[in-house]
Structure 1
Amino acid sequence: MITAAQMRAARALLGMDQRELAERTGLSLPTIQRMEASDGVIRGNVDSLMKLIGGLDEAGVELIGDGAPSTASGRGVRLKFQS
């Protein structure tokens, strides 16, 4: 799973705009915009989500799930749990 906040943070780390992410992933710009406008976990068809996650991975971003350790070295983003 990937959240809209993770997606925006990943793009920011890569210095990539929405159009470039769309081109890299083979998704349309409106699809990228809709995903980033989501509230919380991004919803979409499996193919689109796999393209998104694969494209971010290929560009050098590791997605870290809730409570999961980072398995690679390098910079990353994670929000602290708010109680």
Structure 2
Amino acid sequence: MDHAISVRQMKAARALLAWSQGDLATASGISEPTIGRLEAEDGPVGGRAETGAALVAALEKAGVEFIPENGGGAGVRMKKRSGKR
């Protein structure tokens, strides 16, 4: 993943996890006010590349998979659980 996600993907990922901005801040090490500022805009997640990378890494570690724009539209989903139930 090249870490170029949209604000809508980030919000959707938080919704899938039932995470607040504070939860994402705790998991990523990025301040809650910074996340709020980033989410206030539409389009690609702005800010420094390291910030976006930390946010994506935290969401992916929690089980989110980012789906690239591939003709069907960019999106998010939960990763398939490996192993048997």
TM-score between the two structures when normalised by the length of structure 1: 0.79
Output aligned runs, 1:1-83, within 5 Å.
Answer: 1-67=4-70, 76=77
Q: CA deviation at 1:68?
A: 7.1
Query: Segments of 4+ in structure 1 off by > 4 A?
Result: none
| Greater mean alpha carbon deviation, residues 59-68 or residues 8-17 | 59-68
Rounded Cα–Cα distance in structure 1 between residues aligned with 2:20 and 2:71: 27
Q: 1:39 to 1:51 in 2, by over 3 A?
A: same
Would you say how many aligned residue pairs link Structure 1 and Structure 2? 72
TM-score between the two structures when normalised by the length of structure 2: 0.77
Q: Could you give the per-residue CA deviations for residues 11-38 of structure 1, whole angstroms, max 9, x where no partner exists?
A: 0000111101001000000111011112
AA aligned opposite 2:77: G
Query: For the aligned residues, what is the CA RMSD?
Result: 2.0
Rounded Cα–Cα distance in structure 1 between residues aligned with 2:40 and 2:10: 10
Gaps of 5+ in 1: 70-74, 78-83
Identity of aligned residues (%): 42
Gaps of 5+ in 2: 79-85
Rounded Cα–Cα distance in structure 1 between residues aligned with 2:50 and 2:71: 24
Task: Write 1 or 2 for the structure with the bigger share of strand.
Answer: 2
Which secondary structure state, in structure 2, belongs to the residue aligned with residue 76 of structure 1? Answer: strand
